[in-house]
Structure 1
């Protein structure tokens, strides 16, 4: 019976030992929890690990410029007579902008017209004179032809008379000589006629060419007089105009500039410390009224001024209604992209360096974990290892707890 009682007491003893052990561990856990540093949740900034695309950018400043700017030049050496549009005025195609004085040009036009009439009259007179000379030579040739026929008959008569003793040999030879001379004179007339007919075209053509040159000079001046009223060639805005009434201008001098408002480009300035990262064809993001417009670098200017590089950017949406000439806009030049990656929001707790220790939240605690980071943007940092999408990380400054492996959050 005593043996049975002893065996019944052993399980109850084990239960006491187990309970004591649990109490010891509980006390240890309570003690440890009470010793953990505590931080208020409201004092912390949290960031969630997410997955998606990332871009690395360089901040710059862009100046909006019309993609095309048309310069209107003076067609004449004259004076500015009247200003019809002010600087900054919007214009449509064909709108008059500026009027030049054409008084002397009109006088020159009339003089050229008179000279042209004179030259055209000279062409007609020359043609008539040459045709008259040709007609006279043709008549002389016809007369000479009759003389030749008469002399040929005289030669035949002389030969017949000689055969019957009515004429001497000397008289026959004289008749033959007269015929030969007449034939040579006829041939001379025919040659002269042929030359005059062939030369009439070149003689008249020379006069007609001078007349054509004169006509061209007059017509060119007429076009210049017509252009003396400068008109808008495109819809746009007057960005500059010669507004001095009476100002003397030379032919080819600029008188006005028009900006085409249907298309814009950007002239971007970026620090020369990024010179090795800037390339033609890189994507550019432009912030406009809380929207982002995209473009690409199409030209990098070789000169460096005031420690800045200038790039010309072609916008994808060149006709955005938010754009205005001379408008300054913030620009981001994309230097790196990741199609699929993990990233954290940037915060004061994320320092420089590739490997860092960050506090990862788990319920009411945050435990320190070694994390490997990659490239950074202005608002994100790439996570290479140590974290997974969905992890909550403290990204505020935790330098006060750098010797702690865990913190309590309340």
Structure 2
């Protein structure tokens, strides 16, 4: 059978579904009143000792930024061997003072040693060949000179015979054939003598040119030998300037190629400060700007000399 539902009366009617919009409207009205009534000002408490009061004046506005930097040597020289090899000795450790020319480490290079031996053997062979050739050419020169002397004497002898036959022929004491034969012998000997003298002159020029070529070739080999020996001296890596051995990244037995960076020499006495500037200030930082830095409770003045335009990681 049906059940009779009792109708709510009194304060119970405030919690019915029909009363829900009234509740929401009332809450919204309270929130609006709170926003209007709350104070708009904020209060910040500060220590009066941190406040500086000054008169406003018209002048130059200086904009400062505070950054961290590192003191670096003004000059840093890269240390690289001119000749590759195996590290045999380390003579100076990192942080030690050095003078220009001080040996730092010693390398060994078996291939270079073999080149030196081969170059010395080739040089000795070339010198021996040149010496034997010069002896042979000197002997040839003496032989040619002897021929010239012999033909000069023979020409003089035939000249006298020709003049004698000529005088006898003019006196009708000898036949014309004997006179002509003496004249022909003299003329032929004179022509041979001229040819021998020309040959001697040509041989002298040839020998002189050959000696010059051999001397130039030998000099070239000597220069090559000196160059190879200088390469040998480059196996001793030396300090290029006075300063401090700031870095030496080698160990005994390590194989190092020519030109490899193995360390650096730092100059002493003059220094610079390197700092990274945030890219936000790049347009305001230029060469010639004055700067100050503090070190060991002392303030120093400096000037910006170089600004690198590259931006890496925002700096």
Q: When the two structures are superposed, what TM-score results if normalisation uses the length of structure 2? A: 0.71
Structure (1 or 2) with the greater helix fraction: 2
Secondary structure, aligned partner of 2:164: helix
Q: What is the alpha-carbon distance in structure 1 between the residues aligned to residue 254 and residue 108 of structure 2?
A: 10
Query: After superposition, what is the alpha-carbon deviation per residue over 1:293-335, rounded to whole angstroms, capped at 9, x for unaligned?
Result: 3332333323222333xxxxxxxxxxxxxxxxxxxxxxxxxxx
Q: What is the alpha-carbon distance in structure 1 between the residues aligned to residue 68 and residue 152 of structure 2?
A: 97
Task: Tell me, yes or no, if the aligned pair for 2:81 and 2:235 is still in contact at 8 Å.
Answer: yes
Q: Would you say 1:175 and 2:182 are equivalent positions?
A: yes
Secondary structure, aligned partner of 1:127: helix
Deviation at 1:273, TM superposition (A): 2.8
Could you tell me which residue of structure 1 aligns to residue 313 of structure 2? 306
Secondary structure, aligned partner of 1:301: coil
Task: Tell me, yes or no, if the aligned pair for 2:70 and 2:273 is still in contact at 8 Å.
Answer: yes
Deviation at 1:85, TM superposition (A): 4.3
Could you tell me which residue of structure 1 aligns to residue 204 of structure 2? 197
Distance 1:50-1:215 versus aligned 2 partners, 3 A rule: farther
Aligned partner of 2:96 among 90, 95, 99: 90
Q: What is the alpha-carbon distance in structure 1 between the residues aligned to residue 262 and residue 73 of structure 2?
A: 18
Query: After superposition, what is the alpha-carbon deviation per residue over 1:167-198, rounded to whole angstroms, capped at 9, x for unaligned?
Result: 44344333323222222222222222223333
Could you tell me which residue of structure 2 aligns to residue 291 of structure 1? 298
Structure (1 or 2) with the greater strand fraction: 1
Secondary structure, aligned partner of 2:259: coil
RMSD over equivalenced CA pairs, Å: 3.2
Secondary structure, aligned partner of 2:172: coil
Could you tell me which residue of structure 2 aligns to residue 241 of structure 1? 249
Secondary structure, aligned partner of 2:310: strand
Task: Tell me, yes or no, if the aligned pair for 1:241 and 1:257 is still in contact at 8 Å.
Answer: no
Could you tell me which residue of structure 2 aligns to residue 119 of structure 1? 126
Q: Would you say 1:74 and 2:81 are equivalent positions?
A: yes
Deviation at 1:200, TM superposition (A): 3.3
Deviation at 1:48, TM superposition (A): 5.1
Flag structure 2 segments of 5+ consecutive residues without an equivalent: 1-46
Query: After superposition, what is the alpha-carbon deviation per residue over 1:67-86, rounded to whole angstroms, capped at 9, x for unaligned?
Result: 22223333434322344445
Deviation at 1:54, TM superposition (A): 7.9
Task: Tell me, yes or no, if the aligned pair for 2:137 and 2:207 is still in contact at 8 Å.
Answer: yes
Could you tell me which residue of structure 2 aligns to residue 145 of structure 1? 152
Alignment length (residue pairs): 267
Distance 1:46-1:266 versus aligned 2 partners, 3 A rule: closer
Task: Tell me, yes or no, if the aligned pair for 1:96 and 1:230 is still in contact at 8 Å.
Answer: yes
Flag structure 1 segments of 5+ consecutive residues without an equivalent: 1-41, 309-410
Q: What is the alpha-carbon distance in structure 1 between the residues aligned to residue 69 and residue 198 of structure 2?
A: 82
Q: Would you say 1:273 and 2:273 are equivalent positions?
A: no
Q: Would you say 1:255 and 2:262 are equivalent positions?
A: yes
Q: What is the alpha-carbon distance in structure 2 between the residues aligned to residue 202 and residue 297 of structure 1?
A: 66
Task: Tell me, yes or no, if the aligned pair for 1:281 and 1:298 is still in contact at 8 Å.
Answer: yes
Could you tell me which residue of structure 1 aligns to residue 31 of structure 2? none
Q: What is the correspondence of 1:23-38 to structure 2 with a 5 Å cutoff?
A: none
Could you tell me which residue of structure 1 aligns to residue 32 of structure 2? none
Distance 1:213-1:254 versus aligned 2 partners, 3 A rule: farther
Deviation at 1:62, TM superposition (A): 2.8
